[in-house]
Structure 1
Amino acid sequence: MSTLTKQRPTKVMDRFLTGVEKVGNKLPDPFMLFLILFTITAVLSTVMAWMQVSVQLPGSADATAIRGLFTPEGLSWLTANIGTNYLGFPPLATVLPILLAVGVAEKSGMLAAMIRKAFGSAPRWALPYAVGVVGVVGSIMADAAFVIIPPLAALVFKAAGRHPVAGLLGGFAAAGAGYSTNFLVTSLDALFAGITTAVTDTMPNAGAAVTPVSNLFFNIVSSFVLMLLAGFIIDKVLEPRLTRQGVPTVATDSEGSEVEAAETLNPELTPSEARALKFSVAAGVGLAALMLVAVLLPDSPWRNEDGGFLPKSPLLSSIVFIVFSMFMIPGLVYGKLVGIIQRGSDVPKVMGESIRDMAGFLVLAFILGQFIALFNWSGIGQWIAVTGATGLEAIGLTGYPAILAFIVLASLLNLFIISGSAMWTLMASVFVPLFVLLGYEPAFIQGAFRVGDSATQVITPLNPYMIVLLTMLRRYEPQAGLGTLIARMLPFVVPFWLAWVGILSVFFFLDLPLGPGNGIFLEP
């Protein structure tokens, strides 16, 4: 095959993605975009309210009416809740505490030292696959994965002389597009299982009980395939394209000055740095051991009422605190030993620097919070989900085409409803009974939902963590827009979706168990 023939697909893909980027970047600035979306939602909700549109939520005796913003009820709701809408914006509760702690770990030099020690001499070829592994497994940290993994992956890549933006975007793509799977049992498994069980409890002959491990075998296979696929795309598609585009490899702050954290990395640590790193790691290990003992005590306050940790417990609700502590304490120890943090007053200064870097996101979060609050309060999101589900049910598809249609619907709804638990709550109530009547196990329908629930969330502007990522990307590319992100995420979305559907198809046609005691088809 000639070189020209080999280059042709690359050129075609570049032209397509460049076109997507140009179109996407013609969208208004994110603040104005969400202000426009807020206005459209306000007008649409008001029209639907005037037309007395309602949605019948599965399991609810009464229909829920769509509420309009430009009504007496809506206007009073907005004026009374504008502050709550902002401060209640979900990512703030995750992003801000973690940023404070990560800021200490980063500004003290601990993260750079750790990366220099662990990755500075590592084989360059393995890094994309390491990012794929960490990204997919990162779902165990829930939404915190979107904040932690991308910038750390960028540092790892820079330390090894590779393009940091490839690590940044690849880490986000792996964490987001593979969010619903993991080879470990996570709180998401318990949450999905609880929702499914709530539906099947009222159904006779619903097959085997759904538990947090009902999709375990399917998740393990999916995790390893998606990890390798993510690494391959980062290595062979994303990074080469960034190089062809001439994307800068040096991050700058809000004033245009170079950020030195990863740009001057040297694999060799000085004696003082090596000593500080040992003590900071020891502090982290000691803290982890202390937490482990605290939660394993029989009467631990971090257990649930049944004495366990699943499906809900104070421990699972404390993930932000755990991540905060595991960055903050070692960061303080390292900073103190190398002299970056010499007195108590230095700590808030370092924390303040990390918040200053995210000032743009904090401003944008105001309008994001207003839009998402209105979208949820009005009931339009529920109306979209139920209407789409009812439409698919009315088509009357059977067999595997019905499963594929269900996955496609979940993927499309995922562009509008980012919360997997919220979307599964709505869809499970309609589709679990429907597919049980067609002879499918509820655990299999839950597994199919996972496929549609993840891949597309990394290309929708309604994903608030896309805005967090855009803020990070603009440290390298100040002119980057949402179109830039969407174009660079697409090479992950389509292969991830196809690969995941392929894995589900293998399980389906070979009638393999998805987890202990849970198969594909109901027993006759």
Structure 2
Amino acid sequence: MTTASQSAPPGRLDRFLDRIERAGNRLPEPFMLFVLLTLVVAVLSSVMAAFGVAVTIPGEDEVTPVRGAFSGAGLEFFFTGLAENFIGFPPLRTVVTIMLAVGLAERCGMLAALIRLAFSRAPHWLLPYALGFIGVSGSVMADSAFIIIPPLAAIVFKAAGRHPVAGLIGGFAAVGAGYSTSLLVTSLDALLAGITNGVAATLPVTGTPVTPISNYFYNAVSSIVLSLLAGLIIDRVVEPGLVRSGFPDREVERDDAPARGDENDPTAEPTSATVTTAERRGLRAAGVALLVLVVAVLALVLVPDSPLRNETGGYLPKSPLLDSVVTLVFLAFFVPALFYGMFAGTIRRGADVPLLMARALRDLSGFIVLAFVLGQFIALFAWTNIGAWLAISGAQLLEAIGLTGYPAILGFVVLASLLNLFIVSGSSLWTLMASVFVPMFLLLGYEPAFVQGAFRVGDAATQVMTPLNPYMIVLLTFVRRYEPAAGLGTVIAKMVPFVVPFWVAWVLVLTIFYAFGIPLGPGVDVRVGE
């Protein structure tokens, strides 16, 4: 079959996307990219040290020289600190801890069952908006959301008499374009916070320490806005466009179609939107367990002499309660998942719990390997003082040209959006950008958590339209069940209507928080000292 779009000569958009794909394919994998960047920092620091480059850090009287990696002190730093740089990589302990609990909730089937229950109760007209909310909040399942939510949405849309491909496309767009935000605290919040704190510590003025809930107010508002916008685009743009173009709404039988997922694997591709009796029983048990847990934590927190209060008897700006966020998030997933599994029958014996948690860590192995080189890069970047030199030089340049206000933040968001077309790994991109921009904006008076919040816009909005996103191929596989002739350009074209509205809406939310000085999270303001 040959479609009209394939027979027509390539337009400007096709040529632009081709250039993006060719340029992106020249980039090495994230691991090798940061190996090369670490070598670049080592060479550059040695050259700068040889020329006596130094910087005056605000708050310090003595000049700080750039230290060369290829020196006696540099070699000592490398040989004695290799393991510590890896184990001490800030996001490692938080992400691994949270993923043990999230992985249990995912592997026992609780998260997938919860999504199916939410879909099953949504009326026909509300389906696109329910899909928008579930997709935007789907980052709690990490990358599994790209595989679970879109095909499940297609099944639900078809059962409701709507175009299944609209659910497929809308589910993927909502998950990807809103990936960096959620009403729930996720492992991504811990990951970004760890990286932010790691680079903010390179200057004597570090601002408010960043925790997994430092962007919570901002994330909550953003997730609601983006959910409604996603539903509106699915309902008013994507689905009518599919109908007008005659896009098939029934699956085409193909000999090479991939097999459906194993029904015994809760993370496999869903084949039904029905919530079974056992799953409902498990969800009820999980809800009761979560309620009991919340009451117990509140009782512990609200007692007058609670050990989770700070020295003044409060909770802000710093207290044991805020330092316990990782533990609280772990319990919020682990306890309900444990009871769900026992009552739904997916956890039959005690040995199943560590087995399911181990599978979650297996899925995290790629991040752990990448964390090794990310830890070396951040540590060397800080030790050589190149980060401080770049931050102070950049801040002085922006001050010299008068670009110290909000336009500088918008420029940062645009840059993150463009780089996200080539580096789709959020941790890799944030490590690269945070090393320079967190200290630089901190010197201009912006809290690290605000810079992190601005990065979230660029990290998510454009990733659904880049050919370098590996899950685009997964989406293409799903779409080809309805239109075998569909190509990568087909799915990219379907994603474009989401990108600009999501980017603009998210920037508007960021602007409102900036303009009115609204706290981004508990005890976290936009500017230092507000």
Aligned-residue offset at 1:262: 4.9
User: Could you tell me how far apart the structure 1 residues matched to 2:321 and 2:436 are?
Assistant: 21
Question: Does 2:358 align with 1:355?
Answer: no
Question: Does 2:337 align with 1:331?
Answer: yes
Superposed counterparts of 1:13-52, under 5 Å: 13-52=13-52
Partner in structure 1 of residue 128 of structure 2? 125
User: Could you tell me how far apart the structure 2 residues matched to 1:425 and 1:17 are?
Assistant: 34
Contact 1:158 1:263 in 2 (8 A): yes
Superposed counterparts of 1:215-364, under 5 Å: 225-229=225-229, 261-364=267-370
Contact 1:46 1:69 in 2 (8 A): yes
Aligned-residue offset at 1:40: 1.0
User: Could you tell me how far apart the structure 2 residues matched to 1:345 and 1:73 are?
Assistant: 49
Q: 1:442-488: CA deviations, max 9, x gaps?
A: xxx99996885443345999xxxx9xx9798898899xxxxxxx999
- 2:397 aligned to 391, 401, 421, which one? 391
Partner in structure 2 of residue 435 of structure 1? none
Q: Which amino acid aligns with 1:171?
A: V
- 1:151 aligned to 144, 147, 159, which one? 144
Q: Which amino acid aligns with 1:456?
A: G
Aligned-residue offset at 1:219: 9.3
Contact 1:66 1:380 in 2 (8 A): yes
User: Could you tell me how far apart the structure 1 residues matched to 2:113 and 2:216 are?
Assistant: 36
Q: Which amino acid aligns with 2:351?
A: S
Contact 1:108 1:340 in 2 (8 A): yes
Q: Which amino acid aligns with 1:34?
A: F
- 2:457 aligned to 452, 455, 458, which one? 455
Aligned-residue offset at 1:218: 9.7
Partner in structure 2 of residue 103 of structure 1? 103
Partner in structure 1 of residue 180 of structure 2? 176
Q: 1:279-320: CA deviations, max 9, x gaps?
A: 122111211221122112221111222222222222222222
User: Could you tell me how far apart the structure 1 residues matched to 2:168 and 2:94 are?
Assistant: 24
Contact 2:89 2:371 in 1 (8 A): yes
Sort the Cα spacing of 1:66 and 1:323 in 2 relative to 1 into closer, same or farther, 3 A: same
Q: Give RMSD over aligned pairs.
A: 5.3
Q: Which amino acid aligns with 1:38?
A: T
Sort the Cα spacing of 1:361 and 1:451 in 2 relative to 1 into closer, same or farther, 3 A: closer
Aligned-residue offset at 1:107: 1.9
Aligned-residue offset at 1:48: 1.4
Aligned-residue offset at 1:339: 3.1
Aligned-residue offset at 1:154: 5.0
DSSP-derived class of the 1:36 partner:
helix
Contact 1:251 1:475 in 2 (8 A): no
Sort the Cα spacing of 1:59 and 1:132 in 2 relative to 1 into closer, same or farther, 3 A: farther
Sort the Cα spacing of 1:22 and 1:118 in 2 relative to 1 into closer, same or farther, 3 A: same
Q: Which amino acid aligns with 1:129?
A: G
Contact 1:107 1:350 in 2 (8 A): yes
Aligned-residue offset at 1:76: 0.8
User: Could you tell me how far apart the structure 2 residues matched to 1:339 and 1:127 are?
Assistant: 28
User: Could you tell me how far apart the structure 2 residues matched to 1:177 and 1:133 are?
Assistant: 7
User: Could you tell me how far apart the structure 2 residues matched to 1:34 and 1:383 are?
Assistant: 20
Aligned-residue offset at 1:371: 1.5
- Aligned-pair identity (%): 41
- 1:427 aligned to 423, 441, 445, which one? 441
Aligned-residue offset at 1:96: 1.2
Contact 1:418 1:457 in 2 (8 A): no
Give the count of matched residue pairs.
Answer: 441
Aligned-residue offset at 1:30: 2.1
DSSP-derived class of the 1:404 partner:
helix
Contact 2:151 2:270 in 1 (8 A): no
Unaligned runs of 5+ in 2: 155-163, 184-192, 208-214, 249-255, 418-428, 478-491, 520-525
Sort the Cα spacing of 1:229 and 1:376 in 2 relative to 1 into closer, same or farther, 3 A: farther
Sort the Cα spacing of 1:150 and 1:459 in 2 relative to 1 into closer, same or farther, 3 A: same
Sort the Cα spacing of 1:78 and 1:449 in 2 relative to 1 into closer, same or farther, 3 A: closer
Sort the Cα spacing of 1:330 and 1:381 in 2 relative to 1 into closer, same or farther, 3 A: same
Sort the Cα spacing of 1:165 and 1:497 in 2 relative to 1 into closer, same or farther, 3 A: closer
Q: 1:91-133: CA deviations, max 9, x gaps?
A: 2223212221122222222222222212245354124531476
Aligned-residue offset at 1:348: 1.4
Question: Does 2:408 align with 1:408?
Answer: no
Contact 2:140 2:182 in 1 (8 A): no
Sort the Cα spacing of 1:176 and 1:106 in 2 relative to 1 into closer, same or farther, 3 A: closer
Aligned-residue offset at 1:421: 11
Sort the Cα spacing of 1:109 and 1:41 in 2 relative to 1 into closer, same or farther, 3 A: same
Contact 2:132 2:226 in 1 (8 A): no
Sort the Cα spacing of 1:477 and 1:500 in 2 relative to 1 into closer, same or farther, 3 A: closer
DSSP-derived class of the 2:267 partner:
coil
Q: Which amino acid aligns with 1:94?
A: T
User: Could you tell me how far apart the structure 2 residues matched to 1:251 and 1:82 are?
Assistant: 44
User: Could you tell me how far apart the structure 2 residues matched to 1:36 and 1:421 are?
Assistant: 16
**TM-score w.r.t. length of structure 2:** 0.66
Unaligned runs of 5+ in 1: 136-145, 180-187, 202-214, 433-444, 479-485
Contact 1:56 1:63 in 2 (8 A): yes
Sort the Cα spacing of 1:376 and 1:421 in 2 relative to 1 into closer, same or farther, 3 A: closer
Q: Which amino acid aligns with 2:129?
A: A
User: Could you tell me how far apart the structure 2 residues matched to 1:249 and 1:127 are?
Assistant: 29
Sort the Cα spacing of 1:407 and 1:16 in 2 relative to 1 into closer, same or farther, 3 A: same
Q: Which amino acid aligns with 1:296?
A: L
